[in-house]
Structure 1
Amino acid sequence: LEEQKNNFGAFIPFIGIVRAENGIDGLSFDIYKPILQKWFDGWVEKAKRQGAIVKFAHSIGDVPIHQSSYISAVLSPKRRVALNLIDEFVEDFKANAPIWKYDIVEGKRVYAEDRSQPILGSGILV
């Protein structure tokens, strides 16, 4: 196991769950993997500089309410490093990861533009 090999003392996961709000039946997600990989590579390097590892997985397609759409975790020799990194990672993911979100309302995908961010240099939402 990675935590044994690296003698990690902290493993801190975060799981995001689709909330029942605004009359939605769920959320749907599109991901452009090359842009997401570039974003994530920056986090891998940041974690590595602190002796830590960051991991995540995100759903593609439809996710009903009360189900998980996202999981991330930080492994680190020290808990404070892991606690700080998971907080920063989750917040940056929410604000900057290139994942397009749609509400599912009455079986139809409705783009959640009000909860979307432009991706600099991509030509998307500029």
Structure 2
Amino acid sequence: MNHIEITEEKLNLEKITALVTAPSCGAVSVFMGTTRDNFENKHVVKLEYEAYIPMAKKKMVEVCDQIRAQWQVEHIAIVHRLGVVPVTESSIIIAISSPHRKESLMAVSYAIDTLKATVPIWKKEIYDDHSSDWKANKECAWAAPNKQS
């Protein structure tokens, strides 16, 4: 089972891990991305996320399909928050269950890296001086510099 969600609600770790917990699985691995209070010597007060939701969900399903092609996993939950995400709160939670820990750990790592590289979700950092900056993930396919031959 895949659970894909994009929401403006505060994320609940316990509810999301409950979605993937299964009697046949000895492992639930979780990645929780939170807003930190600093970036390159600037004081961050919050993040704001936007997305093209239909395409983002489609790409999140593709990430689930890629995980299932590589590892034996039971359930996958990927929940991303949009809108304002204050410092210390989660913008994304990925939870994956599997019979053994190695598969779920590898799958969670793959999920966050691939999601950041392929899913059209954009982040703006808001600083304490009221300035802001849209951030491109370094992993993004569309953020890579053009290479001229």
Please tell me the TM-score bracket, short chain as reference: 0.7 to 0.9
When the two structures are aligned, how many residues end up with a matched partner?
Answer: 120
Gap regions ≥5 residues in structure 2: 1-18
Identity over aligned pairs, percent: 24
The match for 2:22 is 4
Q: SS state of the match for residue 126, structure 2?
A: strand
Alignment of 1:49-68 (within 5 A): 49=69, 50-52=71-73, 53-68=75-90
Contact 2:123 2:136 in 1 (8 A): no
The match for 2:6 is none
Deviation digits for residues 41-90 of structure 1 (CA, Å, limit 9, x no counterpart): 11222233333132111111001112211111111112111111111111
Contact 1:56 1:72 in 2 (8 A): yes
1:30 partnered with 2:50? yes
Task: State the superposition RMSD in angstroms.
Answer: 2.6
Alignment of 1:100-119 (within 5 A): 100-106=122-128, 110-113=132-135, 115=137, 117=140, 119=142
Q: TM-score, normalised by structure 1?
A: 0.78
CA spacing shift, 1:26–1:2, aligned 2, 3 Å: closer
Match of 1:90 among 112, 119, 125: 112
Q: TM-score, normalised by structure 2?
A: 0.67
The match for 1:123 is none
Please report how far the alpha carbon of residue 97 of structure 1 lies from its aligned counterpart in structure 2 after TM superposition. 2.0
Q: Which deviates more, 38-47 or 75-84?
A: 38-47
Q: Which deviates more, 72-81 or 103-112?
A: 103-112
Gap regions ≥5 residues in structure 1: 121-125
Q: Which deviates more, 99-108 or 75-84?
A: 99-108
